[in-house]
Amino acid sequence: MKRKIGLGILFSRSGTYSLLGEASRAGALKGIAQVNGDPTLDVAFDPIERDPGGNVDAYAPLCEEILRDEDVRHVVGCTTSWSRKEVIPALERMDGALWYPTPYEGFEASDRIVYTHGCPNQHLLPLMEYTFSQYGMRGYLTGSNYIWGWEMNRLAREIVLRGGGSVLGERYLPLGSTEVGRIVEEIADLKPDFVLNQLIGPSQYAFLAAMAELRHRDPFFGAANCPVLSCNLTECELPAIGAPAEGLISAGPWFRGLPQPMPGNFGRDDFISSLEAAAHASVMMLAHLLSGNPGGEKLPLSLLLSRPEAAQMGLSARTHHSRLPVAIAQVRQGAFHLLRSAPPRDGDPYLTRDIAVPAPLRVVK
Cβ atoms of 357 and 153 within 8 Å: the answer is no
Listed residue (330, 357, 353) closest to 106, CA to CA = 353
pLDDT of the residue at 91: 98
Number of domains in the chain: 2
Cβ atoms of 87 and 330 within 8 Å: the answer is no
**What DSSP designation does 323 have?**
P
pLDDT of the residue at 359: 47
**Does residue 169 sit in the same domain as residue 281?**
no
**Does residue 102 sit in the same domain as residue 145?**
no
Sign of the dihedral through C-alpha 338, 339, 342, 348: negative
pLDDT of the residue at 260: 76
pLDDT of the residue at 356: 56
**Does residue 32 sit in the same domain as residue 102?**
yes
**Does residue 281 sit in the same domain as residue 266?**
yes
Q: What is the pLDDT of residues 61-72, one digit of tens each?
A: 999 999 999 989
Other CB atoms within 10 Å distance of the CB of residue 185: 12
**Does residue 233 sit in the same domain as residue 293?**
no
Q: How far are the Cα atoms of 33, 57, 133, 156, 166 from residue 138, in angstroms, in the given order?
A: 47, 38, 12, 11, 5
**Does residue 330 sit in the same domain as residue 265?**
no
Residue 306 lies in a domain: yes
pLDDT of the residue at 148: 96
**Does residue 245 sit in the same domain as residue 174?**
yes
pLDDT of the residue at 355: 63
Residue 166 lies in a domain: yes
pLDDT of the residue at 354: 57
**Does residue 143 sit in the same domain as residue 230?**
yes
pLDDT of the residue at 71: 87
Please give the average pLDDT of every successive group of 10 residues along the chain, which has 365 residues: 96 95 98 98 98 97 96 96 97 97 96 98 98 97 96 97 97 96 98 97 97 96 93 97 98 93 91 98 98 96 96 97 97 97 96 65 41
Residue 172 lies in a domain: yes
**Does residue 15 sit in the same domain as residue 64?**
yes
Q: What is the extent of the structural domain holding 237?
A: 121-256+325-345
**Does residue 100 sit in the same domain as residue 185?**
no
**CATH number of the domain bearing residue 111:** 3.40.50.2300
**Does residue 30 sit in the same domain as residue 11?**
yes
Residue 357 lies in a domain: no
Other CB atoms within 10 Å distance of the CB of residue 91: 22
